[in-house]
Structure 1
Amino acid sequence: MNRARKVTGRSARGLALAAALATGAAPAWAQAVAPEPQAPAAAPGFSEAVAAVVNDDIISTYDLAQRMRLLIATSGIQPTQQNIAQFQREALISLVDERLQIQELRHQEREQKIDIIASDEELEEELAEMAQGNGMNRQQFEASLAAQGIGIDTLKEQIRAQISWQRWIRGRYGSRLRVGEDQVRAVQQRMAAAASKPQYQIAEVFIDSNRVGGPQVALQGAQQLVAQMQQGAPFAAVARQFSASATAANGGDAGWVTAGEMPAEVDAALEQMRPGQLSQPIPVRDGVYIIYLRDKRSGAGATVVNLKQAAVALPQTASADQVAAATQRLTELRSRATGCGDLEAAAAGMPGVVAGDLGEAEIADLAPAFRDAAQTLQTGQLSQPIRTQAGLHVLAVCGKRAAGAENLTADQIENRLYGQQLSMIARRYMRDLRTSATIETR
């Protein structure tokens, strides 16, 4: 399977970031950051110290202070003496990662003699779209940043790294990824098998311990984030800025998950939570989760199937020869069709065979002859010819889910698997870059 996917140069995380800039940030936080000795907000042209060196590329204390301001403005978290160190750490990690990304992209541009890094024109187009999305023109948008103590170049460089890195990862690896029919079927089968298990609609923040400096640092950071969200910081804004999960760009929204999909530690916490509740930090092997439980539902006993059929009309008084001839035609149809996708096309060239969509129904509500087939067939399979009072039928099971459960199409499952694989590749790529780099913090 390798269906076309919608690919855009726009940074989803950047667009959400712009919305937060336009709606949040009272000027008070700007004064809260400036006095901190860890990240003095030096102005351009004044003396600056070195905050870090990444393969001989300097990150100044001014760069760090600006990124802290941007992070605070977009996270919805008010800075305090207790959490300012976390802002500094996250800002520095982001700057180091972006330096490594740009360095790698410049190397690839030289090696492959292609343009990868986003141009100034692309950045201006991105900023104009951000401004428009917030009901401003370009100049008003820049003025709103300046009013919050954020230089436009700080936002530009973050967006440049995001756009360029996403383009490179998709270009280098996206076309090589293949999500097979067997993978999609395996997910469908797991969903059907999990129909009786509890289901949870969640949003998540995942703090990657490898990225932030170890399990204890990840746990402490998660504890501070939980405290801030309990005081009113928006979960979605926190997820966009602090989460290492692929769901970060969507504000941490992971949709409906079934018991067994998340790590065992998260499953155990979800069992004890109520809808509307925010979890405490949940340590797992590679980091720490924070979960917001939006809704919860018990596993459904009923199973819903989506069916198509190909049929030959036969009265109950049909002769044995007529039944045999119809059976032969439908058996030939089964050899031509591979499943729901081409059932109608296969039937179109066969005289007397009519194919169509039967829609969704609970298995218990089907006619007995159809019920047995729907229960035993897996998604994508075709039944043997089934005799009813109306004729002879071949059923195709196009989908199977728990009543009331999320009904994902094959395309949706494929795109989800594709996104997960691409996210995993990007994380491994960054881990390798960090491991091979010379990074010195001051």
Structure 2
Amino acid sequence: MNRFGKTIRLASTAATLAVLGLVGASVAQAQEDGFQLPGDINFLGQADPNVRRATARVNGNIITGTDVDHRVALIAASNNMEIPAEEMSRLRLQVLRNLIDETLQVQEAASLDMEITAEEVDQAYTRFAVEQFNLSPEDMDAYLASIGSSARTVKRQIQGELAWDRLLRRNIAPFVNVSSEEVNEIVDRMNAARGQFEYRIGEIYMAATPATRDAVLSNANQIVAQLRQGGSFAAYARQFSQASTAVVGGDLGWIRIEQLQNPVLEAAARDLAPGQLAGPLEIPGGYSLLLLIDRRQIGMADPRDAVLSLKQISLDFPPGIPESEFQLRAEQFAAAVAEINGCGDADARAAAMGAEVIANDELAVRALPDALQPIMLELNVGEATPPFGDVQQGVRVLMLCGRDDPSQTSGPEFDELMNNLENDRINRRAQRYLRDLRRDAVIDYN
């Protein structure tokens, strides 16, 4: 158990097995678990793992190839990426699995008289279009068609999410209880660990055998390349990770480094700055990619929660300006900024040099780009950052006019801790619930 009272989520299924001493379990061990497996496997028919069937019938409900195509198009557009041909087969397989799960969830809700109506789905679709895209439902329909998807595939996903939420709220959540004593125990452990660092880490684990090692490594490197070009880590984790955290975008939550329980992963994570990626890292059973989402000290105020009062002084340049002239004017701008005597002098000095001033009195340090955060934390009131920018965007500085440091220590409150515990237990029961639905389903692949 970790200090939040949750079962520790290790970096992968293989890592879990390694910790328990079960990697490379013998046939005799498998037979003790109820399986009668021969030492040599002799298939009686063709078994080609590269052949994937794209459609299915789930308890009588059909999932078509078009359903898969539309969902793949939606994923590609939402992540603003072009899916390489070598990844498409795997993505389509994952999409089919997701569609099967959604179908099972909708069917289960209907069988228990909790059916989601078309009106509920339409209302949720309208909210989605307005809140996420600022589009009317009709314009949203047209947009989805333009990217090769459809309103039907989004509504199908919405129906599955609403059905599952209703099932959990009625069949699971009322039977999950967390006592005050459990939460107080967590608070005590947090106080004992005050000042120690904890990390919020994302993982993508890809299983490999000696026969598939090279192919998996190549695939992992392609994913890293896509991530470095701006791809969504959470999206790739949901699609490709084989760890249990795939369902939450690879997010391990807040953990201590040693909870990774693998020296390779621990060493890599310690060297990361927030936002940095590590991997592919070879570990028992496959490869892992790690993303350091954030880092904090337990029970201590985070300086990045300070709220700043800033003035941005920016100077734009006309299109087509020669590089030499840009450099000269940027140096003149930097020299002029250095002569500004605090924020009260900024507006007049900026006007004299033809620059623009924009003020913001409520900007948290953590809301700034990563490269600016450490610089802002070192500034005194009235000081400015070094100039930054380019010929297209212009040059600018940020001047610190005031800072309100966080007055309370960071860390979750009692109610938040209780909610975390409840949600964790609900999620674990939900996973078992979905596994039962899969086990009992009649699924025919076409």
Could you state the TM-score of these two structures normalised by the residue count of structure 1? 0.54
* Separation of aligned partners in 2, 1:229 and 1:131: 27
* Separation of aligned partners in 1, 2:424 and 2:70: 32
Does 1:88 pair with 2:92?
yes
Classify the secondary structure of the residue corresponding to 1:292.
Answer: strand
Q: In the TM superposition, what whole-angstrom CA distance separates every residue of 1:176-206 from its partner, at most 9, and x where no partner exists?
A: 111111221222122223224322244x256
Structure 1 residues 412 and 144: CA distance shift in structure 2, 3 A: same
Q: In the TM superposition, what whole-angstrom CA distance separates every residue of 1:86-119 from its partner, at most 9, and x where no partner exists?
A: 2111111111111222222232x2xxxx3x2221
* Separation of aligned partners in 2, 1:199 and 1:404: 18
Structure 1 residues 299 and 180: CA distance shift in structure 2, 3 A: closer
Kindly state the Cα deviation for residue 288 of structure 1 after the two structures are TM-superposed. 7.7
Does 1:230 pair with 2:238?
no
In the other structure, the counterpart of 2:127 is 129
* Separation of aligned partners in 1, 2:286 and 2:161: 23
Classify the secondary structure of the residue corresponding to 2:255.
Answer: strand
Does 1:425 pair with 2:429?
yes
What stretches of structure 2 of length at least 5 have no aligned partner? 1-50, 302-406
Kindly state the Cα deviation for residue 129 of structure 1 after the two structures are TM-superposed. 1.0
* Separation of aligned partners in 1, 2:213 and 2:426: 25
- Within-5 A mapping of 1:68-107: 68-107=72-111
1:174–1:422 CA contact under 8 A, matched in 2: yes
Q: How many percent identity over aligned positions?
A: 30
1:76–1:237 CA contact under 8 A, matched in 2: no
Structure 1 residues 51 and 242: CA distance shift in structure 2, 3 A: same
Q: In the TM superposition, what whole-angstrom CA distance separates every residue of 1:198-233 from its partner, at most 9, and x where no partner exists?
A: 22244x256698xxxx99999887665434212321
Q: Structure 1 stretch 96-105 or stretch 171-180: which is displaced more?
A: 96-105
- Within-5 A mapping of 1:267-346: 267-280=266-279, 290-296=289-295
- Within-5 A mapping of 1:57-206: 57-107=61-111, 109=112, 114=113, 116-133=114-131, 134-202=133-201, 204-205=202-203
2:245–2:252 CA contact under 8 A, matched in 1: no
The alignment yields a C-alpha RMSD, in angstroms, of 4.0
Kindly state the Cα deviation for residue 264 of structure 1 after the two structures are TM-superposed. 4.8
In the other structure, the counterpart of 1:406 is 410
- Within-5 A mapping of 1:241-256: 256=254
2:57–2:443 CA contact under 8 A, matched in 1: yes
Kindly state the Cα deviation for residue 274 of structure 1 after the two structures are TM-superposed. 3.1
Structure 1 residues 256 and 406: CA distance shift in structure 2, 3 A: farther
* Separation of aligned partners in 2, 1:222 and 1:65: 24
Amino acid across the alignment from 2:414: A
Structure 1 residues 247 and 301: CA distance shift in structure 2, 3 A: same
Structure 1 residues 104 and 226: CA distance shift in structure 2, 3 A: farther
Kindly state the Cα deviation for residue 238 of structure 1 after the two structures are TM-superposed. 4.0
Q: In the TM superposition, what whole-angstrom CA distance separates every residue of 1:58-107 from its partner, at most 9, and x where no partner exists?
A: 32212221221122222333211121112111111111111222222232
Classify the secondary structure of the residue corresponding to 1:82.
Answer: helix
* Separation of aligned partners in 1, 2:236 and 2:431: 20
Structure 1 residues 416 and 287: CA distance shift in structure 2, 3 A: farther
* Separation of aligned partners in 2, 1:423 and 1:218: 30
Kindly state the Cα deviation for residue 247 of structure 1 after the two structures are TM-superposed. 9.2
Structure 1 residues 233 and 135: CA distance shift in structure 2, 3 A: same
Structure 1 residues 100 and 298: CA distance shift in structure 2, 3 A: closer
* Separation of aligned partners in 1, 2:415 and 2:299: 24
Could you state the TM-score of these two structures normalised by the residue count of structure 2? 0.54
1:53–1:440 CA contact under 8 A, matched in 2: yes
2:205–2:288 CA contact under 8 A, matched in 1: yes
Structure 1 residues 228 and 168: CA distance shift in structure 2, 3 A: same
2:300–2:409 CA contact under 8 A, matched in 1: no
Classify the secondary structure of the residue corresponding to 1:129.
Answer: helix
Structure 1 residues 298 and 411: CA distance shift in structure 2, 3 A: closer
Classify the secondary structure of the residue corresponding to 2:193.
Answer: helix
Structure 1 residues 255 and 60: CA distance shift in structure 2, 3 A: closer
Amino acid across the alignment from 2:427: S
Amino acid across the alignment from 1:417: L
Classify the secondary structure of the residue corresponding to 1:293.
Answer: strand
1:280–1:290 CA contact under 8 A, matched in 2: yes
* Separation of aligned partners in 1, 2:260 and 2:233: 19
Length, aligned pairs only = 285
1:71–1:87 CA contact under 8 A, matched in 2: no
Of residues 433, 436, 439 in structure 1, which corresponds to 2:440?
Answer: 436
Q: In the TM superposition, what whole-angstrom CA distance separates every residue of 1:111-169 from its partner, at most 9, and x where no partner exists?
A: xxx3x222111111111111221221121111111111111111111110111111111
2:178–2:418 CA contact under 8 A, matched in 1: yes
Structure 1 residues 291 and 189: CA distance shift in structure 2, 3 A: farther
* Separation of aligned partners in 1, 2:430 and 2:284: 19
